[in-house]
């Protein structure tokens, strides 16, 4: 999605990466599987494998690695994502995994190419947006990922198995919301034989185990009577897990048992809310892309990089009348010792009455400017018709001077846009203790602006002097996504937090999704 350039990084420290031409023989150190891959791979995948000496992603010690099984498990659960698992042929992939267990190089190469093709198609489809926001930069607009780009990113992961199992190609916000859907899925099997059976909680139930809980599990899934956790039961558990979006491992753990027993269910409205916010999270890049996410609904911010969340903080977002918009831009510079251009309505309501009562503009910490252009000059406040300002017939430009009480605080982070929206510090720290933090005119006030500055610049941000408006460019512009999640991961990291639809956006968005 964002910043495709990051997907094009070279794959470092891979064996036999020197093989870059078809006529260059595979090195002696390269195993027979790599040679077989070279003979089988074609199309867009060939360039990827050729650049890495045809070294496999999915084969470990001449056997299918655990990442292969992890991918099939993810594929079997993608109905949660609005996708059809059959498109990615999970049964065929499982058959190929079984055929590769004897270490035959040709079988393993065939499996390797099939898994890579499936991953490329899956990631492309899962990243396809269904909701639109405003993109301030062309580079941030979603692009259909090519299979070789998907594989390059996957090859950079420290653990391929973890990358696949945790769907590292998606935003962590997406993955966490997705995980909430299984326990809130509607009970759509009430008429299935055994659906009235309850399986008691207890230790994990695994293949090969016996006992009363295994017998009840078989009954709950409508299988023939028996007390053994056999291959048939494992297959049935896997199908149930896939239908609920649970990890597909064929093991009946606490989450699977709870879903079987219909525990933790939620209303259709709550499920629809979760799915809507899942679609919003689909717009976000993965955590390997350095970026910032602002959630205007819950008034919260996260920042990501290196494959993980690197920090979070509370924010103050726009009021229902002055909403923070949904859009994506690039933070390009910070402004230290900033001015604050006061909105004309606040000049009329708050400043003009004080001037008319005898408190000068300067004593209030403001100054007037000649116009709204970049070249505006400071003018005497006495030259302004303040009664006209109070009456609404005169609209001067007034800005607050830098200082401890300045509404911008000590710094603002700028991503160019026509809405006048940016992230900034604030002296009003008391607002962050409130549950509802919608007080701004649309901009985003930061609980800890210095911390975000250190993350953006990799050093503390300090002004060179008391000079106003010191602009400091970000070494590498960072994407920022202003989003709106009425369901999002809780601040404790466990479960989902639901918040009020303060901007009244969900109903229209749900109608839009239903019409697709």
Structure tokens at 456: 């953006």
Residue with tokens 């607002």: 431
The three-state DSSP-derived secondary structure of 247-311 is CCCCCECHHHHHHHCCCCCCCHHHHHHHHHHHHHHCCCCCCCCCEEEEECCCCEEEEEECCEEEE
* Spatial contact of 459 and 272, defined as CB atoms under 8 Å apart: no
Coil/strand/helix, residue 405: coil
Of 291, 419, 443, 471, the catalytic one is 443
Distances in whole angstroms, Cα of residue 430 to Cα of each of 322, 437, 446: 21, 10, 12
The reply to whether 443 belongs to the active site is yes
The four Cα atoms 422, 424, 426, 431 give a dihedral, to 10 degrees, of 60
**Cβ contact 107:115 at 8 Å:** no
Tokens of 243: 């239908």
Instruction: Name the region of 54 (left: φ>0; alpha: ψ -120 to 50; beta: rest).
Output: left
The catalytic position among 374, 419, 424, 512 is 424
Helices (H), 32-171: 32-40, 45-51, 66-76, 90-99, 105-126, 147-155, 160-165
203 Cβ neighbours under 8 A, 6+ residues apart: none
Instruction: Output the CA–CA distances (angstroms, integers) from residue 478 to 153, 313, 516, in the order listed.
Output: 19, 17, 32
Does the active-site annotation cover 438?
no
The upper half-sphere exposure of residue 243, i.e. CA atoms within 13 Å in the direction of its Cβ, equals: 14
Asked if 460 contacts 454 with a C-beta cutoff of 8 angstroms, the reply is yes
Residue positions annotated with a catalytic role: 424, 443
């Amino acid at each position: 999605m964002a910043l495709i350039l990051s997907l094009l990084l070279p794959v470092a420290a891979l064996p036999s990466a020197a093989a870059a031409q078809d006529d260059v023989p595979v090195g002696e150190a390269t195993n027979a599987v790599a040679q077989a891959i070279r003979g089988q791979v074609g199309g867009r995948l060939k360039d990827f494998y050729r650049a890495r000496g045809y070294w496999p992603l999915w084969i470990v010690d001449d056997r299918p690695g655990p990442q292969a099984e992890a991918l099939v498990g993810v594929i079997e659960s993608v109905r949660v994502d609005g996708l059809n698992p059959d498109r990615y042929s999970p049964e065929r992939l499982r058959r190929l995994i079984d055929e590769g267990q004897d270490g035959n190089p040709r079988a393993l190469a065939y499996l390797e190419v099939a898994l890579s093709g499936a991953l490329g198609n899956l990631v492309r489809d899962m990243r396809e947006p269904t909701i639109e926001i405003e993109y301030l930069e062309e580079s941030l607009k979603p692009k259909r990922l090519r299979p070789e780009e998907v594989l390059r990113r996957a090859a950079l992961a420290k653990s391929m198995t973890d990358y696949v199992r945790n769907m590292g190609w998606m935003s962590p916000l997406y993955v966490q919301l997705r995980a909430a859907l299984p326990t809130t899925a509607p009970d759509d099997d009430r008429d299935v034989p055994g659906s009235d059976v309850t399986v008691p909680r207890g230790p994990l139930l695994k293949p090969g185990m016996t006992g009363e809980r295994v017998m009840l599990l078989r009954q709950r899934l409508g299988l023939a009577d028996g007390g053994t956790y056999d291959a048939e039961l494992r297959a049935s558990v896997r199908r149930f897990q896939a239908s609920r979006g649970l990890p597909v491992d064929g093991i009946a753990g606490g989450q699977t048992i709870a879903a079987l027993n219909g525990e933790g269910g939620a209303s259709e409205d709550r499920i629809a809310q979760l799915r809507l916010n899942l679609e919003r999270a689909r717009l976000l890049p993965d955590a390997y892309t350095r970026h910032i996410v602002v959630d205007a609904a819950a008034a919260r911010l996260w920042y990501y990089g290196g494959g993980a969340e690197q920090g979070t903080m509370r924010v103050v977002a726009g009021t229902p009348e002055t909403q923070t918009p949904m859009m994506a831009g690039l933070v390009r510079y910070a402004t230290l010792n900033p001015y604050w251009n006061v909105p004309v309505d606040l000049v009329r309501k708050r400043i003009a009455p004080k001037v008319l009562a005898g408190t000068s503009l300067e004593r209030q910490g403001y100054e007037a400017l000649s116009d709204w252009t970049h070249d505006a000059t400071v003018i005497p406040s006495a030259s302004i018709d303040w009664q006209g300002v109070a009456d609404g017939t005169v609209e001067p430009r007034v800005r607050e001077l830098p200082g401890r009480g300045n509404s911008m605080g000590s710094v603002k982070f700028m991503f160019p846009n026509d809405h006048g929206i940016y992230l900034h510090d604030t002296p009003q720290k008391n607002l962050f203790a409130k549950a509802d933090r919608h007080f701004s005119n649309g901009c985003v006030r930061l609980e800890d602006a210095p911390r975000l500055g250190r993350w953006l610049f990799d050093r503390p941000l300090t002004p060179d002097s008391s000079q106003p408006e010191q602009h400091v460019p970000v070494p590498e512009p960072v994407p920022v996504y202003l989003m709106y999640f009425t369901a999002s991961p809780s601040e404790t990291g466990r479960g989902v937090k639901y918040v009020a639809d303060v901007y009244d956006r969900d109903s229209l968005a749900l109608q839009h999704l239903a019409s697709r």
